[in-house]
Amino acid sequence: MPYLRDVLGELGDGAMDLVFAPVCVSCDRPIPTTEKDRLVCRLCWVKCRTLPHPRCERCWAPVPAHEDPRPKCRTCGDWPQAVRAIRAAFVMGPEVKGICHALKYRGWEGAADPMAQRMSEMSWPRDVEDEVRLVVPVPTSAARLRERGYNQAALLATAFAKKMGWTASPDVLARTRQSKTQTALHPGERKANVARAFSVPAERAAELQGEHVMLVDDVWTTGATALACSQALLDAGARVVSVATFARVIPELER
Ligand SMILES: [Zn+2]
Ligand SMILES: [Zn+2]
């Protein structure tokens, strides 16, 4: 009903809400008209939890209170030096999952903006803030792009870059071959499944030279995908890669 929507739009959000009565994409309850965010209700946002302390300064993995992650963190200790910092706005949980699904599977492209807003509130080491200029999303497969019409990571990367004053460069990474869906695989299998699945087309390598690139995805699960993408960016000439996601799966914390 584009015409009705236009007419009502001129009457303001109140009239739109009478007809379209927005419900939260995560909990399906009506969103009170007093709330500014028309896609995710305030209660769901309140239930989204940030990553717990203490955590590794580099990768933000939770660290047991009695354990010092230096000099070698159990999670990131073996990663390439050029992978600098990993951040996620929230721990995966029911509300976070609902928001991710709305963006990824249910066509709620507008969710990218409030999600990127939360990502823009994360703190980074000083050198990351000083050096990053380019934001690159994890690419999706051509088949999934045809099916959904958009890459959720690219929407997040674009909105996140805008909020941070950086530049989104959506097509720098490409999938070189179809990897199987990661969902049903164990960590070791995930790593083998995505190794060498990504590359930078030759004509895009120039813009990466010497850059500290910010890689963006919706969810960090084992890190296999993000680390494979990071390696492809480094192989193509990037100097350093950091990674920002909306959610991070921490199995021991999932409710
Ligand atoms: Zn809700
Ligand atoms: Zn770490």
From 47, 64, 81, the end of a domain falls on: 47
Cα 165 to Cα 80: distance, rounded to the nearest angstrom: 27
Whether residues 171 and 223 share a domain: the answer is yes
First-last CA distance in the chain? 40
Whether residues 53 and 37 share a domain: the answer is no
Whether residues 34 and 74 share a domain: the answer is no
Q: Summarize the chain as % helix, strand, coil (round to 5).
A: 40, 15, 45
Task: Give the pLDDT band (50/70/90) at residue 39.
Answer: very high
Whether residues 1 and 69 share a domain: the answer is no
C-alpha 73 – ligand 2 centre gap (Å): 5
* Torsions phi, psi for 174 (to 5 deg): -130, 155
Which one is predicted more confidently, 179 or 59?
A: 59
Q: Residue 255, exposed/middle/buried by CB under 10 A (0-12, 13-18, 19+)?
A: exposed
Residue 208 exposure: Cα atoms within 13 Å on the Cβ side: 29
Q: In the predicted model, is pLDDT for residue 6 greater than 80? A: no
Which value, in Å, is the radius of gyration of the alpha carbons in the chain?
19
Q: In the predicted model, is pLDDT for residue 62 greater than 50? A: yes
Task: Give the pLDDT band (50/70/90) at residue 187.
Answer: confident
The structural domain count of the chain equals 2
Cα 40 to Cα 147: distance, rounded to the nearest angstrom: 25
Ligand nearest to the CA of 68: 2
Token pair in block for residue 64: 């047991």
Which one is predicted more confidently, 57 or 1?
A: 57
Cα 248 to Cα 75: distance, rounded to the nearest angstrom: 13
Which CATH number fits the domain that encloses residue 116? 3.40.50
Whether residues 54 and 40 share a domain: the answer is no
In tens, the pLDDT along 65-113 reads 777 766 789 899 999 999 999 999 999 999 999 999 999 998 899 999 9
C-alpha 48 – ligand 1 centre gap (Å): 10
Whether residues 62 and 152 share a domain: the answer is yes
Whether residues 19 and 103 share a domain: the answer is no
Whether residues 61 and 117 share a domain: the answer is yes
Domain carrying residue 95: 49-253
Whether residues 62 and 41 share a domain: the answer is no
Confidence (pLDDT) at 188: 73
Cis peptide before 54 (omega within 30 of 0): yes
Q: In the predicted model, is pLDDT for residue 235 greater than 50? A: yes
C-alpha 75 – ligand 2 centre gap (Å): 5
What is the 8-class DSSP label of residue 246? Answer: E
From 14, 29, 47, the end of a domain falls on: 47
Whether residues 39 and 146 share a domain: the answer is no
Helices vs strands, H then E, count in the chain: 10, 7
Ion ligand 2 neighbours (CB, 5 A) are 56, 58-59, 61, 73, 75-76
Q: Out of 15-19, 82-86, 250-254, pick the least confident.
A: 15-19
C-alpha 116 – ligand 2 centre gap (Å): 23
Whether residues 90 and 62 share a domain: the answer is yes
Overall average pLDDT of the 8-23 stretch: 62
Q: How far is the CA of 248 from the CAs of 17, 49, 89, 98, 153, in angstroms? A: 33, 10, 8, 14, 14
What one-letter code names the amino acid at 178? Q
C-alpha 15 – ligand 1 centre gap (Å): 21
* Torsions phi, psi for 139 (to 5 deg): -75, 155
C-alpha 212 – ligand 2 centre gap (Å): 19
Confidence (pLDDT) at 64: 82
3-class secondary structure, 125: coil
Whether residues 40 and 56 share a domain: the answer is no
Give the position of tokens 């070791």: 188
Determine if the pTM surpasses 0.85.
yes
Q: Out of 62-76, 93-107, 144-158, 239-253, pick the least confident.
A: 62-76
Cα 67 to Cα 140: distance, rounded to the nearest angstrom: 37
Overall average pLDDT of the 23-35 stretch: 93
Q: Strands 83-91 and 198-199: what pairing?
A: unpaired
